[in-house]
């Protein structure tokens, strides 16, 4: 299987994660004018599973190092599989909340608040479990990211209420999402052997863990997504029948593409963790907050109605995020 042992290459893969995790939601924005996010999300979930399976049977099954996907999944313990399934379900709960928050508040708000908070919690949780990197630099970077989150919330409060956006609801959902999102990665990491070259018996390689995670994500839609289809937080009811009656091939492909984009980032991130460490790998990947904020600010113009002086706060937010991420990288 493909194993990354170079830290610079691992960082580059985490940058790709950042771009993927910060960009997939554009597919939701593209589809939202034609059908509800609940219907889009079924295709997104399928896209995650399909991409992880492609990686598992290709780069996860070639070469002599590590364990090929078929062998690896066959020897995985029930505890490891359960941990990865829980990680998928917990992520799904958080991600559905993120999609709801995007629907209410937009990408420029939902991502920095939710994923920024997840970055803080996730880095702490993963560093406690596997302490890799200089703690002072790492947590100083996390602190700067936290300040950027606070700035983003202040910027959001400056927006006029147009009657369609519930200011408090958008922020509240983003915060709950961020708390849940901060812990899912720890369950996935716990299912994997930290040594990818000679993986520990009973634990999985990133490729197998990714597939099990994706199955947990898709199956848990029954618990987390179906209720929102019939009792949505915002918008109209989205009965399952409309997935087939309203869904065109283009709409389905857009959703699957969104899931595949996210899954590329996820797969690269857990592959890179073998060299970078789980805390740094996760922290860098969650730089997606800035990528998403850029899409929201510069492409979707979500802050165009904000009062004078907002641009200064937006600039300060970006500076804090980038300096914080730089310290996280340098901490290794």
Q: pLDDT at position 37, please?
A: 87
Sole residue written with tokens 């857990």: 270
- Alpha-carbon distance of 286 to 46, in angstroms, equals 22
Q: What's the number of domains the chain is made of?
A: 1
Q: Is residue 4 part of a domain?
A: no
- Alpha-carbon distance of 6 to 243, in angstroms, equals 44
- Cα-Cα end-to-end distance for the chain: 25
Dihedral sign from CA coordinates of 110, 270, 268, 255: negative
- Alpha-carbon distance of 238 to 236, in angstroms, equals 6
- Alpha-carbon distance of 111 to 160, in angstroms, equals 19
Q: Is residue 267 part of a domain?
A: yes
- Alpha-carbon distance of 269 to 48, in angstroms, equals 14
Q: pLDDT at position 161, please?
A: 59
Tell which residue, 126, 154, 156, has the closest CA to residue 273: 126
**16 φ/ψ sector (left φ>0, alpha ψ -120 to 50, else beta):** alpha
3-state secondary structure of 133: coil
The pTM assigned to this predicted structure is 0.86
Q: Is residue 160 part of a domain?
A: yes
Q: Which domain holds residue 305?
A: 12-330
Q: Is residue 304 part of a domain?
A: yes
- Alpha-carbon distance of 106 to 102, in angstroms, equals 4
3-state secondary structure of 240: coil
Q: Is residue 259 part of a domain?
A: yes
- Alpha-carbon distance of 314 to 217, in angstroms, equals 34
**48 φ/ψ sector (left φ>0, alpha ψ -120 to 50, else beta):** alpha
Q: Is residue 3 part of a domain?
A: no
CB atoms within 10 A of CB 142: 24
Q: Is residue 5 part of a domain?
A: no
Q: pLDDT at position 164, please?
A: 46
Tens-of-pLDDT digits for all 332 residues of the chain?
999 999 999 999 999 999 999 898 889 888 888 888 899 999 999 999 999 999 999 999 998 889 999 999 999 999 999 999 999 999 999 999 988 887 777 766 777 788 778 888 888 888 998 898 899 999 999 889 888 877 877 776 677 655 445 557 878 888 899 999 999 999 999 999 989 999 999 999 999 999 999 999 999 999 999 999 999 887 789 999 999 999 999 999 999 999 999 999 999 999 999 898 888 898 888 777 778 777 877 777 777 777 888 889 888 988 998 898 889 888 97
Q: Is residue 281 part of a domain?
A: yes
Name 273's Cβ contacts closer than 8 Å, sequence gap at least 6: 10, 189, 192, 206, 281, 282
């Amino acid at each position: 299987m493909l194993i990354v042992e170079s830290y610079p290459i691992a960082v580059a893969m985490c940058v790709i994660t950042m771009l993927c995790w910060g960009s997939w939601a554009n597919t939701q924005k593209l589809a939202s004018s034609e059908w509800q996010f609940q219907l889009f999300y079924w295709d997104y979930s399928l896209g995650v599973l399909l991409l992880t399976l492609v990686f598992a049977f290709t780069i996860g099954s070639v070469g002599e190092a590590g364990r090929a996907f078929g062998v690896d999944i066959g020897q995985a313990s029930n505890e490891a599989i359960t941990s990865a399934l829980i990680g998928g379900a917990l992520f799904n709960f958080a991600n559905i909340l993120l999609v709801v928050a995007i629907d209410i508040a937009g990408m420029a708000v939902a991502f920095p608040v939710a994923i920024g908070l997840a970055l803080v919690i996730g880095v702490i949780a993963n560093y406690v479990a596997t302490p890799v990197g200089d703690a002072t630099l790492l947590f100083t970077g996390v602190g700067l990211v936290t300040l950027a989150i606070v700035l983003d919330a202040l910027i959001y409060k400056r927006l006029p209420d147009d009657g369609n956006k519930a200011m408090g609801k958008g922020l509240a959902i983003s915060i709950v999402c961020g708390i849940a999102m901060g812990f899912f990665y720890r369950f996935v990491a716990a299912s994997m052997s930290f040594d990818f070259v000679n993986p520990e018996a009973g634990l999985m390689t990133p490729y197998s863990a990714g597939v099990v995670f994706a199955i947990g994500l898709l199956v848990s839609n029954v618990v987390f997504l179906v209720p929102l289809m019939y009792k949505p937080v915002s918008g109209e009811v989205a009965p399952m029948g409309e997935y087939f009656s309203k869904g065109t091939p283009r709409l389905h492909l857009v959703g699957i593409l969104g899931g595949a984009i996210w899954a590329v980032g996820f797969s690269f991130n857990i592959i890179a963790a073998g060299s970078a460490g789980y805390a740094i790998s996760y922290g860098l990947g969650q730089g997606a907050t800035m990528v998403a904020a850029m899409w929201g600010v510069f492409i979707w113009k979500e802050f165009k109605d904000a009062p004078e002086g907002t641009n200064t706060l937006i600039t300060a937010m970006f500076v804090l995020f980038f300096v914080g991420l730089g310290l996280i990288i340098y901490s290794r």
